[in-house]
Amino acid sequence: MLMDCLLNYHRCGYVSFNMYIKQVVIEGFKSYKEQIATEPFSPKVNCVVGANGSGKSNFFHAIRFVLSDLYQNLRNEDRHSLLHEGAGHQVVSAFVEIVFDNSDNRIPVDKEEVRLRRTIGLKKDEYFLDGKHITKTEVINLLESAGFSRSNPYYVVQQGKISSLTLMKDSERLDLLKEIGGTRVYEERRRESLKIMQETGNKRKQIIQVVQYLDERLKELDEEKEE
């Protein structure tokens, strides 16, 4: 199951993992013009505190920028909104790098520390794993293999979501637990596999019917030939 990793006592929420975020590095993203790197986090509970306007919300947005589908299919104005705007030279690119403690090997990479970085510019954005360029599909597969589902936004829970969690019906809460536990991904794949198997079975029946028809027709032709 997922263990607490980051906790924001203000208005953003918390992030949780079995493995945990060891460090976050940000440069040029929203309110963070200069590169900042957090001190190594604890595998237990960590607090992110600060005055209003100090960048707490943007810190959690940075994590979601890398891990969730919140910032996909970006338009030009969306890209501009993610790049730092302030005094001095205009920022034309930014990146957020999340460093995972992978000592439990939850991410299928043979390293105890894994760095996942997403960069963004005015034209495109890219992903890097330990400095090596990878595709968005590879990122999705990597995260899903570690238990992150694209349809599961609950490893980053905003404050507004917490009250809705307490008001859920039992069936909805069960679905949520399946998503958090990462089992929803495999249920969806199972349904897709069963659908493919059913379609294959229907095609097999059609082929058998055609073969039977051809066999019967061949017998008829053989009988006609003998006559």
Q: Considering only residues 63 and 188, tell me which one the structure prediction assigns the higher pLDDT.
A: 63
Do β-strands 113-121 and 36-37 pair in parallel, antiparallel, or remain unpaired? Answer: unpaired
30 class by beta-carbon count within 10 Å (0-12 exposed, 13-18 middle, 19+ buried): buried
The predicted model gives 3-9 an average pLDDT of: 36
124 token code pair: 């495109």
Cα separation of 20 and 11, whole Å?
A: 21
- Per-residue pLDDT of 196-205, as tens digits, reads 999 999 999 9
Question: With 60 as the cut, is the pLDDT of residue 7 above it?
Answer: no
Q: Crossing angle for the helix pair 170-181 and 183-226, nearest 10 degrees?
A: 90
Whether this model's pTM surpasses 0.95:
no
Quick one: average pLDDT of 170-184? Answer: 73
- Backbone region of residue 30 per phi and psi (left: phi > 0; alpha: psi in -120 to 50; beta: other values): left
Q: Kindly report the length of the chain.
A: 227
What's the CATH number for 3-181?
3.40.50.300
Domain boundaries, the chain: 3-181, 185-227
In the structure, what pLDDT confidence band is assigned to residue 207 with cuts at 50, 70 and 90? very high
Q: Which residue has the higher pLDDT, 174 or 10?
A: 174
Summarised one tens digit per residue, pLDDT across range 119-158 is: 999 888 999 999 999 998 898 888 877 777 665 556 666 6
